[in-house]
Structure 1
Amino acid sequence: MNAADDKTIVKDYFNSTGFDRWKRIYGDGEVNKVQLDIRNGHQQTVDKVINLLSSDATLPDISVCDAGCGVGSLSIPLAEMGAKVFASDISEAMVGEGKERALKLFGNNDNPTFAVQDLEGLTGKYHTVVCLDVLIHYPQDKAAEMISHLCSLSESRIILSFAPKTCALSLLKKIGSFFPGASKATRAYLHKEKDIVKFLQENGFTVGRNEMTKTRFYFSRLLEATRK
């Protein structure tokens, strides 16, 4: 399967059955134990990003590109805290849900701004570029290209999260336990941390702060890199 096929599968998935599934996970309604575990893990990652950004006391002064924003779990709280946020996702359904959530909070406000767009099509310049839990949809070579493109959009900082490739997680993925309900999900790619660090360094960034989120069914490594 090539990268174009992967992107089509991801787009179709998050506009159909995937949207229904992840809308529940990213919401606050009743879910099963596995979905609740993933919800809690993802929220921990979002909270860690907010803490990283707010600890610098610059949020009201910066622009943030939330690449792969989903339903706005990060974009909306960042906008509430004063950052100027551009949020994009390949899924029209996800973006539509994000817009609805933002409308309920902010009314007819242009912050955050939502757009249906894949990562490769993003343009502009932003102080900080954030891309959470998206690399799992990209194989190694495509991940390198995508990170390079995201780095070109960032004036100062980039924050990425990814499913780390370790022996334990590779085994879990192989036996079908890494993502329950595999028949309903997209392909899942794990990445070695040293490779992600290398990609960032090749694009002029130095990795600084990092975090790890691990629950029963959710594993995510978070890296913050700043331009040299």
Structure 2
Amino acid sequence: MATIDDKTIVQNYFNAEGFDRWRRIYGGGEVNKVQLDIREGHQQTVDTVLGWFRADNNLEGRTICDAGCGVGSLSIPLAQMGAKVSGSDISAKMVGEAEDRAKQALGEANLPQFSVQDLEQLSGQYDTVVCLDVLIHYPQEKAAEMIKHLSSLATNRVILSFAPKTVAYTLLKKVGDFFPGPSKATRAYLHREQDVVAALQAAGWQVERTGMTKTSFYFSRILEAKRLPEGVTAPASTMESQSSATLAWAIFVLIAGLAALAFWSAL
């Protein structure tokens, strides 16, 4: 029940005031310092993923599902690199913006196919499924279901990004929760990396590459997983468990509260 509420809230938000706010953040126009920091952080995440594709040097003609494509920040450069891209988003306004930006960047050549869909509605088979900065809208139990579903659509690779649930980020978020701001229009869920890895492994995938984006107001963990050969079991995760917060972290979080005030008020 709560998950349905979350989805409706997200859909309404990104079709209303959230659309204009995030269109500016994901654009090239003037924004405030906090929004600029988020823009740069998100672009770093996109650039990391694009760098992985370039390093593999086999993107031409590959089918890519960009789940939660937003304004096309990843879909468009992937299409420019020769991929056959299907992008989707829960927000009709975001999809419309992505289509406009794609036409401006590509003309009529190899345009991505955009559609208005939530993650549960996605179907088909793709070489790679990418889902960037979307799991923040899902609680962990629903995120695990979404990871399983998205994994079923990929034949070769799954790439996910999420806001990592660490001691520092959890405390920083709690500090931010004390302050009012438009960002409260949607819930933000942090996820433990070991939970995301476990969901991938349960679906038959093994993490091959990782990345991390950290700016002042944006943080995103990026995982690339490949399908395990039939009969092969993924090794147990060796990630260290989260330790208790140290005094240094506590001091850091208290200081960061001032920054959090600006963050939660500016979005």
> Is the TM-score greater than 0.5?
yes
> Equivalents in 2 of 1:58, 1:183: separation in Å?
39
Q: Secondary structure at the match of 1:69?
A: coil
Instruction: List runs of 5+ in structure 1 lacking aligned partners.
Output: none
Which structure 2 residues correspond to residues 65-84 of structure 1 after superposition, within 5 A? 65-84=65-84
Q: Over residues 99-151 of structure 1, what are the superposed CA-to-partner deviations in whole Å (9 max), with x where a residue is unaligned?
A: 00111122345621100000000000000000000000000110011000000
Aligned residues: 228
Provide, for residues 179-209 of structure 1, a one-character-per-residue CA deviation record: whole Å limited to 9, x for no partner.
9835554100000000000000000000011
Hey, what does 1:196 align to over in structure 2? 196
Separation in 2, partners of 1:73, 1:178: 32
The alignment status of 1:119 with 2:125, answered yes or no, reads: no
For the structure 1 residues 179 and 10, does the alpha-carbon distance in structure 2 shift closer, same or farther, using more than 3 Å as the test? farther
On the 8 A contact 1:164/1:221 being kept in 2, the answer is yes
* Conserved 8 A contact 1:173-1:179: no
Q: Could you tell me how far apart the structure 2 residues matched to 1:134 and 1:65 are?
A: 14
Q: Which residue of 2 aligns with 1:139?
A: 139
Q: Percent identity?
A: 67
Q: For residue 165 of structure 1, what is the aligned residue in structure 2?
A: 165
Judging changes above 3 Å, is the alpha-carbon distance between structure 1 residues 108 and 115 closer, same or farther for their aligned structure 2 residues? same
Q: Is the 8 A contact 1:164 1:193 kept in 2?
A: yes
User: TM-score under structure 1 normalisation?
Assistant: 0.96
| Deviating more after overlay: 93-102 vs 106-115 | 106-115
Indicate the residue corresponding to 1:29 in structure 2.
Answer: 29
Call closer, same or farther: CA 1:179–1:24 in 2, change over 3 Å. farther
8 Å Cα contact 1:178/1:217 also seen in 2:
no
Equivalences for 1:50-69 in 2 at 5 Å? 50-69=50-69
Alignment RMSD (CA, Å): 1.6
Larger radius of gyration: 2
Give structure 2 stretches of 5+ with no counterpart.
229-267
Asked if structure 1 preserves the Cα contact closer than 8 Å seen for 2:89 and 2:117, the reply is yes
1:14, distance to aligned residue in structure 2 (A) = 0.4
Give secondary structure in 2 for the equivalent of 1:197.
Answer: helix
Does residue 99 of structure 2 align to residue 99 of structure 1?
yes
Q: In structure 2, what is the Cα distance between the partners aligned to 1:210 and 1:176?
A: 27
Aligned residue number for residue 155 of structure 1: 155
1:157-186 deviation line (CA, Å, top 9, x unaligned): 000000000011101111117998355541
